[in-house]
Structure 1
Amino acid sequence: MNKTSEKVNLRKALIQQQNEINDYTIYMTLASYQDDQNNKIVFEKIAKEEKVHYNFWLKITEQEIQAQKLVVWWFILLVKVLGTSFALKSLEKREEGAEEFYKELFEIYPESREIYKQESEHELELIEMLKDKKLVYAGAIVLGMNDALVELTGTLSGIALAFDKSIVVGFTGLIMGIAASLSMAGSAYFEAKENPSQIIKPIIYSLYTGVSYILTTAILVAPFFIFETMAYSLIMMFICAFLAIISYNFYISVAKDLNFTTRVLQMSMITFGVAIISFLIGYIVKYYFGIEI
C-alpha cells in the first residue's frame, strides 16, 4: 500500500473516530440531564457502545481526539427544542446510505462492518425505548395544525371573493382562527380527560393543540396583511400552507420513521382540495347569486 492510500485510509478512520467521540459525549451529556431513570440507562448504554467504537478506531489511528463542542451542543439543543426522537434519529441516520463511503473501511478493517451494523440497527432500537415527551404530544400538534390548515385555507379561499381588501380577509381569518383555537384547545382537553393516560396531561395536551392552531393561523393570514392584491395573498397563503405541511411532516417522519412523501401528499390533497372547493363555492355565491359583502 502506497503512502497516499495510507493517508486516505487514515483520514477516513479519523472521521469515524471523530463521529464516535462526538456521539459518546452527546449521549453522556443527555444522560446527566435525565430525571427519568429509564432514559438515563438507555443513554448510558448507547454511550458505552460509542466509546467501544471510539477505542476501536483509536487503536488504528493512534491519535486521541476531543469531541467537537459545537456539534455536541447543536444536538443537545435539538433535543431540547424538537425532542429526543427527532434529534437522536437524525444523529444516527446520518450514516444510512453511506455504506459506499465505508466500503473501503470494511475491506481494510473487517471489524468495522460489525460496528456499522450496530450503529445503524441496534442503537436505533435503543432510541425507540426512550420516553420522548414532545413526541407523546405530537398527536395534539397534528390535531391543531391539520384542522387549522384545512379549515382556514378553505375559509380564506371562500371569503376572498366576498371582500375587496385583502387586509379585511386577514383580520376575518385571524379572528376566526383565534376563536377556533380556543375551541380546539377546549375540545382537546376534554378528549384527554375522557381517555386518561399516565403520560399525557390534559392541560398540556390542550395547550399544544391550541398553540399549534394559532401559530398555523398566523402563518396563513400573514400574506393578507403583507400584500394588497388578493391574488398574491392567496398564492402566498397556499405556499405558506405547503411549507408548513413539509416542515411538520419532515419532523414527524424522522421522529416516527414514517414515509415523508406519502404523508405530505395526503395532507396536501386534503388541505388544498377543501380550499379549492371553498373557493368555487365563494365564486358561485358571488357571481351567480349576486351576494356581496
Structure 2
Amino acid sequence: MTGEHRHEARRFCEDEYIDYVVYSYLSSIEGDEENRRILREMAEQEYRHYEFWKELVGSDCKVNVSRIRLAVLGFMRRIMGVTFTVKFLERHEKEVIESYKRFLEHLEGETRRRLEEIIEDEISHENYLISRINESIVRYLGFIALGLADAIVEITGVHAGFLGATATTLVAGVAGLIVGLSAAISMAAAAYLQAKHESSTTAPLPSAIATGIAYFFAVVTLALPYFITHSNILAFVASVMLAVALISIFVFYSSVINETSFRREIVENLGVLFGTAAAAYIFGDVLGRIFGIGDILALLA
C-alpha cells in the first residue's frame, strides 16, 4: 500500500475502535438484558473490524475516547432512547461503506475477501441487530407523532384565528386550551379504536395514552405565552416559535429513527403549519369584521 492508502486504513482502524468503545459503553449502561446483549454483539463486531484494519496497517490503532463524549451519548441514551442513539451513531455508515468499497480496489486475495465480508456486515448484519432492539417509544412513535403534529397545527390555527378576531390574549389562550384539551380526548379515543382494530404490535391503551399525552403537552406548551403577556401579537409569535421548536425536535428524532431526510420532512411540516396559520388568521379576521366578535370578546374579558 502507498503511504496515502496506509493513512486511510489507519483512519478506518481508529474509527472502528471508537465504535467498539462506544457500543461497549452503551451496553454497560443498558438496563434491558436483550438490548444489552445486542449492543455487546455490535461492539464485538466492531472489534473484529478493528482487528482487520490493525493487521492491514501493521500497528495498533487504539485511540482515547473522550469521557465527555461517552457521557453525552449516555445522556442521549437516557433521554432519547437506545434506538435513536444507535441509529444516530450509524448515520455515517453509508459513507463508510462507500469508502470501504473504494478501498477494495487496492486489495486482492484473502485480504480483499475479508474486507468484502466486513462490508456485508456493515450493510446487513448491523441493520439486522438494530431492528431487533426492543423499545416501547419506537413502537408508539406513530401515535406520538399523530398527537404532536395534529395538536401543533390545530392549536396554532386556533390562535391565528383569534389573532384576527380579538386582541385579548386571555380569550385566545383559554380558547386554545378548551379546543386543544377536547381534541386531545377525541384523538386519544380515536387512537384507541385504531390500535384495537389493527393487527399490530401496539396495544390500544398505550396507543391512546401516547396520543393523548403528546397532544396535551403540545396544547399546554403553545397556550402558555397567552397567559404570560397581554400582547396578542407577542403571544402568537412566541407560540409559533415554540411550535417550530417542537416540530423541529420531533422531526429530527423521527428522521433518525425512520432513516428519512430531515430537510424534506421539516420543510413539509413547517409549510403545513404556516399555511394553516395564515388561512385561520384570514378566516378569523373576516368573521371578526362581519360579526364584531372582537368587541364582544373584549367586553366579556
TM over 0.5: yes
C-alpha displacement of 1:18 = 4.0
Q: Which residue of 1 aligns with 2:91?
A: 93
Task: Extract unaligned runs of 5+ from structure 1.
Answer: none
Q: Which residue of 1 aligns with 2:281?
A: 279
1:168-207 CA distance string (max 9 Å, x none): 322331233233223322332233233364x323222222
Q: Which residue of 2 aligns with 1:200?
A: 202
Give 1:212-291 correspondences, 5 Å limit.
212-291=214-293
Asked if the contact 1:188/1:202 (under 8 Å) is kept, the reply is yes
Q: What amino acid maps onto 1:25 in structure 2?
A: S
C-alpha displacement of 1:9 = 6.6
C-alpha displacement of 1:262 = 2.8
The 1:7–1:258 alpha-carbon spacing in structure 2 relative to 1, beyond 3 Å, is closer
Asked if the contact 1:21/1:67 (under 8 Å) is kept, the reply is no
Asked if the contact 2:188/2:211 (under 8 Å) is kept, the reply is yes
Aligned residues: 288
Asked if the contact 2:27/2:37 (under 8 Å) is kept, the reply is no
Residue 50 (str. 1) matches residue 53 (str. 2): no
Asked if the contact 2:14/2:61 (under 8 Å) is kept, the reply is no
Give 1:62-81 correspondences, 5 Å limit.
62=60, 68-81=66-79
The percent identity for this pair of structures is 26
Q: 2:183 aligns with which of 180, 195, 217?
A: 180
Q: Which residue of 2 aligns with 1:33?
A: 31
Asked if the contact 1:58/1:64 (under 8 Å) is kept, the reply is no
Q: Which residue of 1 aligns with 2:130?
A: 127
Q: What amino acid maps onto 1:134 in structure 2?
A: I
Q: TM-score, with normalisation over the residues of structure 2?
A: 0.77
Q: TM-score, with normalisation over the residues of structure 1?
A: 0.79
The 1:131–1:231 alpha-carbon spacing in structure 2 relative to 1, beyond 3 Å, is same
SS in 2 for 1:216: helix
The 1:280–1:18 alpha-carbon spacing in structure 2 relative to 1, beyond 3 Å, is same
Distance in 2 separating the partners of 1:88 and 1:288:
56
Distance in 2 separating the partners of 1:108 and 1:57:
14
Distance in 2 separating the partners of 1:118 and 1:26:
25
Q: What amino acid maps onto 2:21 in structure 1?
A: N
Asked if the contact 1:157/1:279 (under 8 Å) is kept, the reply is yes
Asked if the contact 2:151/2:180 (under 8 Å) is kept, the reply is yes
Distance in 1 separating the partners of 2:172 and 2:232:
9
Distance in 2 separating the partners of 1:140 and 1:95:
29
Distance in 2 separating the partners of 1:189 and 1:103:
47
SS in 2 for 1:33: coil
The 1:97–1:63 alpha-carbon spacing in structure 2 relative to 1, beyond 3 Å, is closer
Q: Which residue of 1 aligns with 2:155?
A: 152
Distance in 1 separating the partners of 2:141 and 2:54:
41
The 1:35–1:141 alpha-carbon spacing in structure 2 relative to 1, beyond 3 Å, is same
The 1:248–1:192 alpha-carbon spacing in structure 2 relative to 1, beyond 3 Å, is same
**Higher mean displacement: 175-184 or 66-75:** 66-75
1:105-126 CA distance string (max 9 Å, x none): 8788876965873575232343
Asked if the contact 1:149/1:241 (under 8 Å) is kept, the reply is yes
Asked if the contact 1:18/1:67 (under 8 Å) is kept, the reply is no
**Higher mean displacement: 57-66 or 94-103:** 94-103
Question: What do you get for the CA RMSD once the two structures are aligned?
Answer: 3.5
The 1:120–1:222 alpha-carbon spacing in structure 2 relative to 1, beyond 3 Å, is farther
